[in-house]
Amino acid sequence: MRRSFLPIVPLFALSLSACVALPADAPAGSSNDSSNGVESTDLTHAFPSMEASAEPERSRAPKEMFTHTNCKGKTYRHANYSFSYSESDEQSEWVAYELTREEVEGNLDRKDEFAADPIVETGSADPGDYQNSGYDRGHLAPSADMRFDATAMEDCFLTSNVSPQVKGFNNGVWNDLEMQTRSWTKKYERIYVVTGPVLPRNEKAAKKMFTTKRGKDVRTNVTVPDKFYKILYDFSKKGKEKMIAFVIPNEATDTPFTEFVTTVDEVERLTGIDFFSNLSKDFQEKCESRSDLSKWPEATYLNYSNTHSFNH
């Protein structure tokens, strides 16, 4: 895990930091506050380096600018993504990261070495829980998004980034959406991604995954989600920001992901999470209530996975 160190700064700069919402991928234990934080999307006053951009039409916000609340989990941070881990479900309720064109063009090989996440204080799921369970160890942040860096690739195989997925879903419509996300990233240069399972808020309603050990079915603490969501935020050009969201049942289907478009507001209703909570209320209402597929380039990976084989 990479560590970052803050330089000594003048007192007025420290005072300024108190006015900025805590990033979603702040150190563990720092994000159970569900306040809305900054009430303006113009962050140039807090980050002066943004004003010196050679491309003034593009927002130059820091990589870790967005916050999301927790419904059931606690926020942790790895070097290249943050996540909210729900101990009662033994998986993350959201994983968030910025994806850039340069990162999409990475070419590191996939490494199928799943492991428990050492930074989760309560302990993350045991990779062995998934053996003989009938479910894939489905990535939330896909390994193909992390091919730009060896640490990113290693971290994405931690079980905090894994959720039980039906094989036909994981290798089908969900994989199509992941590939489409990378295609759109190449178009827009960068996209912010939030993805996760729709977890039951009533613990009694949680469907738990079973594994087979020594010929016996053993109940695990891993919840099997009925649905998964993915939120994409294009903020590459100031004034032309847009969001789109998808909620897809955890089942094999020939229905393309374009038929599962919804709004961020709807994902918030389903999950109890306030996404982009540090953006102004007006901005949230404008972007989170709309999902217009026509404003995104034509989807080219519809039912693609049914006729191609590859790693993801």
| Rg over CA atoms, the chain | 19
Element housing 228 (H / E): strand 227-234
**Half-sphere CA count of 183, side-chain side, radius 13 A:** 13
139 noted as active-site residue: yes
Residue 284: alpha-carbon gap to chain centroid: 18
Q: Are 137 and 115 in contact (CB under 8 A)?
A: no
3-state secondary structure 46-94: CCHHHHHCCCCCCCCCCCCCCCCCCCCCEEEECCCCEEEEECCCCEEEE
Catalytic residue among 68, 78, 139, 312: 139
Other beta carbons less than 10 A from residue 229's beta carbon? 25
Instruction: Please give the backbone phi and psi of residue 229, each rounded to the nearest 5 degrees, phi first.
Output: -125, 155
Nearest Cα to Cα of residue 275 among 114, 34, 107, 40: 34
**What is the C-alpha to C-alpha distance for residues 257 and 186, in angstroms, rounded to an integer?**
19
Q: Are 181 and 230 in contact (CB under 8 A)?
A: yes
Nearest Cα to Cα of residue 112 among 77, 157, 68: 157
Pairing of strands 242-249, 227-234: antiparallel
Q: Residue 191: beta bridge partners?
A: 99
**What is the C-alpha to C-alpha distance for residues 93 and 142, in angstroms, rounded to an integer?**
15
Angle at 252 between CA 130 and CA 101, to 5 degrees: 80
- Give the residue numbers marked as catalytic: 139
